[in-house]
């Protein structure tokens, strides 16, 4: 079955520091991977997606993620955190076979300290 | 213009009542979804409809009944509300042939059952 695992339910960084949010997937076929962000009391916004065109994917707000098949990972990074990046981040997957429904990881809350 | 709109945004009701949440999308998508986000922020798919046809029906109590009058609308009716139904419900939409572009989510309906 398809799934994604997000390591770390809470991550705290200082403003200006590197942001690294981890996501690993389990799949025997190439997955389609996504990162979504949820700001407090808001809906989900697509940050970026991997659809096999390129392994390094750039998204909105300075975020990027690299698909590493050998590590079955799709970690989200940002070189320099801003206070406005504080939010909940979700990794998600759609498989190319079967049901093709977006399945989410458990989420990582990012806190940015001044 | 809001792409995926849900009403109401907040819903507080007593146990045993029946309530509905409405969702509309103006993106021309042909597939719509309902997700439930629990108090721990975990997101789980409940239903999906493609061109008014039910595609995904997860293990959801039959007190929950989705209805799609046309491909731009997907409503969720809940009978005999229970305390455990308290959650945030998100509507989303996508193109069935291109789900890999990601889903567009509404801003959510926070349901509180007292």
List Cβ neighbours of B93 (8 Å cut-off, separation of 6 or more): B3, B4, B25, B27, B29, B31, B32, B33, B103, B104
Q: What is the mean pLDDT of residues A80-97?
A: 90
Whole-number average pLDDT of chain A? 90
CA A11/CA B87 separation, integer angstroms: 24
Report pLDDT digits (tens) over A34-79.
999 999 888 999 999 988 778 899 999 999 999 998 999 999 999 9
Which of B42, B56, B100 is opposite residue A101, by nearest beta carbon? B56
Collapsing DSSP states into helix, strand and coil, what is residue B38? Answer: coil
Mean pLDDT by 10 residues, chain B (114 residues): 90 97 94 94 92 83 93 95 97 81 91 97
Which of B40, B44, B105 is opposite residue A44, by nearest beta carbon? B105
- Percentage with pLDDT > 70 across chain A: 90
CA A45/CA B35 separation, integer angstroms: 14
Q: Do A101 and B92 touch (CB under 8 A)?
A: no
Q: Do B102 and A46 touch (CB under 8 A)?
A: yes
Collapsing DSSP states into helix, strand and coil, what is residue B83? Answer: helix
How high is the pLDDT of residue B99? Answer: 66
User: Would you call B96 exposed, middle or buried from its count of C-beta atoms within 10 A (0-12, 13-18, 19+)?
Assistant: middle
Confidence of residue A21 (pLDDT cuts 50, 70, 90): very high
| In chain B, residues 75-104 whose CB comes closer than 8 Å to chain A | 90, 92, 99-104
Q: How far is B42 from chain A (nearest CA, A)?
A: 5
Q: Are the C-beta atoms of A7 and A67 separated by less than 8 Å?
A: no
Q: How far is A79 from chain B (nearest CA, A)?
A: 25
Confidence of residue A98 (pLDDT cuts 50, 70, 90): low
Residues in chain B within 8 Å Cβ distance of A49 = 100-102
Q: Are the C-beta atoms of B94 and B29 separated by less than 8 Å?
A: yes
> Counting one residue from A and one from B, how many pairs have CB atoms under 8 Å apart?
53
- Which of B46, B102, B110 to mutate against chain A (most A CBs within 10 Å)? B102
| In chain B, residues 6-45 whose CB comes closer than 8 Å to chain A | 33, 40-45
CA B63 to chain centre: 14
Cα-trace Rg, chain B: 13
Instruction: Kindly state the DSSP code that residue B80 receives in the 8-state scheme.
Output: S
3-state secondary structure chain A: CCEEEEECCEEEEECCCCEEEEEEEECCCCEEEEEEEECCCCCEEEEEEECCCCCEEECHHHCEEEEECCCCEEEEEECCCCHHHCEEEEEEEEECCCCCCCEECCCEEEEEEC
* Nearest Cα residue to A67 out of A98, A31, A94, A114: A31
CA A40/CA A85 separation, integer angstroms: 11
Residues in chain B within 8 Å Cβ distance of A107 = 41-43
Residues in chain B within 8 Å Cβ distance of A101 = 33, 45, 48, 56
Residue B2 to residues A101, B43, B81: CA-CA distances in angstroms? 23, 22, 29
């Amino acid at each position: 079955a398809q799934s994604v695992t997000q390591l770390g339910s809470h991550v705290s960084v200082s403003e200006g520091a590197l942001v690294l949010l981890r996501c690993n997937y389990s799949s025997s076929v190439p997955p389609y991977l996504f990162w979504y962000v949820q700001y407090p009391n808001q809906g989900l916004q697509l940050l970026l997606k991997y659809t096999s065109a390129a392994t390094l994917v750039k998204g909105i707000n300075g975020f990027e993620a690299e698909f590493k098949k050998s590590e079955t990972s799709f970690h989200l990074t940002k070189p320099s955190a801003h206070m406005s990046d504080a939010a909940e981040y979700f990794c998600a997957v759609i498989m190319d076979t079967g049901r093709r429904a977006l399945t989410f990881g458990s989420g990582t809350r990012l806190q940015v300290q001044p | 213009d809001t792409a995926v709109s849900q009403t109401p945004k907040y819903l507080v009701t007593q146990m045993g009542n029946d309530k509905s949440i409405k969702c509309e999308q103006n993106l021309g998508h042909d597939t719509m979804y309902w997700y439930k986000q629990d108090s721990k922020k975990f997101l789980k798919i409940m239903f999906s409809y493609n061109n008014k046809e039910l595609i995904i029906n997860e293990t959801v109590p039959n007190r929950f009944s989705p209805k799609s009058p046309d491909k731009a609308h997907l409503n969720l009716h809940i009978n005999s509300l229970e305390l455990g139904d308290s959650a945030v419900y998100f509507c989303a939409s996508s193109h069935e042939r291109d789900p890999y572009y990601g889903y567009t989510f509404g801003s959510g309906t926070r349901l509180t059952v007292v």
